[in-house]
Amino acid sequence: MQIEQFIEQVEDALYGVDAGTISRETDFTSLKEWDSLALLTLTDTIDMEYGVLMKKGEIESCATVMNLFEKIQSKQVS
Amino acid sequence: MPTNSFTDITVSASVTVVPEHIHSIDQDIDLYGGNLRQIERLKKTIGFDQRRIAPKEVTALDLCHQASERLLSNLNLSAEALDGIIFVTQTPDHSQPSNASLLHGLLGCQKSCAALDIGLGCSGFVYGLWLAFSLINNGSSDKILVLTGDTLSRMVNPQDKATASLFGDGGSATLVQKQAGAGVSWFQLGSDGTGAEALKVPAGGARIPISQATAKASTDTEGNIRTQEDLFMDGASVFNFSIEVVPEAIKALLKVADLPLESLDYLVLHQANTYMVQNIGKRLGIDPARLPIRSFGAFGNLSSASIPGALAYELADELTDKKTSKPQKLIFSGFGVGLSWGSCLLPLEPLKCLEWLEYKQ
């Protein structure tokens, strides 16, 4: 999986966020666009695209986009 | 429960009744802080549009009663011909007696007709069918009326964004009967009680009777307001449960019936919301033309009445002699409160009647 593509997917889940707002270091859950619907669509994207179904609270516990990316990767391996 | 099959039993007719009153998501603008963009987003992603709301004095029993009368009259069938009444609801008129008993009296069924309720929601239509098939299969019955209905719009707090815009009200009546030559029907049911907290009305039962304390509203971390008497839904958990369990259950059913997905005429999922239906369809790789999806935007989530509602709203011609003369292979799959889920694969001859109508007082 590619981080650039993943950043775009996070951007898609955060409806209405300005293009280019999201980077590796973004604390995405503190953005004003982050809400339960964003969580739902992001959970779904991660499951569909990477075959990892994140448990409740796991996505929110990641401090940055990069942390989330790494967490998905570690779950893909295990 | 292991998958089980039945022969010589079929679903022959179904009628769904919804209230006349239409409520649009556009009217919920205050709930979303006046944010029009959020309303547009909800329409686009989840499929929110219109939902049917029953007036205060109309209950699921009323809606299902009207559906029953209409079904019996369409079929020119007497209520005395019924051997059983199974009423699936989470919003019965009373804690005692059951809605099924009340309907038994309203319809004028024979004293030999059994009447009982099933306390299930979104999975309940399939559970109701399964019990009806089982009772016919054990030799005790020829014709069973399965009612599914709820007035969930009244169980939600209008200031709880997780549920307020989701549910509509509706009731359906479906006839299951013995039918020589009806092909093999397959059923598979499941439960996970460890997920019970994900969809719950905490107060109002024997554990926590209603009181002044249970009527007190509180605000959660997302700013949603509800009391202990309102329906609580942990949307993320319910979503995860659904995408984990439902596609697998449907695949398992197809496998045991030895039927490829391509030979299925329609997959009728519980119309939880458009996003969920689309999503499960995508995971299975089903042709969107075989996946009814439009009734959510017209009725709202009708709980256990959503599958018969979807059948009547989208397939009224396709499943009756208006458009077909040959049997159609359908899967119904419901999932929700419990947590519970159920799927069935039915070979359906053209139905004798399949329609939806508005409730008339």
Give B-chain residues touching A45 at CB under 8 angstroms: none
Lowest-pLDDT choice from B27-41, B245-259, B306-320: B27-41
pLDDT digits (tens, 9 = 90+) for B135-144: 999 999 999 9
Element (DSSP H or E) covering residue B175: strand B169-178
Q: Give residue A48's pLDDT.
A: 86
Give A-chain residues touching B237 at CB under 8 angstroms: 56
Point out the residue among A15, A36, A47 whose CB comes nearest to the CB of B236: A36
d(CA B152, CA B137): 33
B241 pLDDT tier (thresholds 50, 70, 90): very high
pLDDT digits (tens, 9 = 90+) for B27-80: 999 998 888 888 998 998 899 999 999 999 999 999 999 999 999 999 999 999
pLDDT digits (tens, 9 = 90+) for B185-233: 999 999 999 999 999 999 999 999 999 999 999 999 888 999 999 999 9
How many alpha carbons fall within 13 Å on the CB side of residue A17? Answer: 24
Starting at the edge strand found earlier in the chain, the sheet holding B9-18 runs B114-118, B84-88, B143-151, B169-178, B9-18, B353-358
Q: List alpha helices for chain B, DSSP H.
A: 36-45, 60-75, 99-107, 124-137, 235-256, 274-284, 295-299, 306-314
d(CA B249, CA B337): 17
Radius of gyration (C-alpha) of chain B in whole angstroms? 19
CATH number of B1-361: 3.40.47.10
Peptide bond into B97 cis (omega under 30): yes
State whether A53 and B243 contact (CB < 8 Å): yes
Mean pLDDT, rounded, for A11-22: 87
B285 Cα to chain A: minimum distance (Å): 12
Q: Are B172 and B354 in contact (CB under 8 A)?
A: no
Domains in chain A: boundaries: 3-77
Inform me whether the pLDDT recorded for B249 exceeds 80: yes
pLDDT digits (tens, 9 = 90+) for A25-47: 999 999 988 988 899 889 989 98
Q: Give residue A17's pLDDT.
A: 87
Q: Which chain A residue shows the shortest CA-CA distance from B243?
A: A44
Inform me whether the pLDDT recorded for B322 exceeds 90: no
Work out whether strand B266-269 and strand B225-226 pair parallel, antiparallel, or are unpaired. unpaired
Question: Any idea which fold A3-77 has?
Answer: 1.10.1200
Inform me whether the pLDDT recorded for B288 exceeds 70: yes
Residue B122 bears catalytic tag: yes
> Taking all residues of chain B, what is their mean pLDDT, rounded to a whole number?
96
Inform me whether the pLDDT recorded for A78 exceeds 70: no
Q: Give residue A19's pLDDT.
A: 84
pLDDT digits (tens, 9 = 90+) for A44-66: 899 888 989 898 889 999 999 99
pLDDT digits (tens, 9 = 90+) for B90-106: 999 999 999 999 999 99
Domains in chain B: boundaries: 1-361
Inform me whether the pLDDT recorded for B317 exceeds 90: yes
The pTM of the full predicted model, rounded to 2 decimals, is: 0.93
Give B-chain residues touching A48 at CB under 8 angstroms: 282-283
Mean pLDDT, rounded, for B273-299: 95
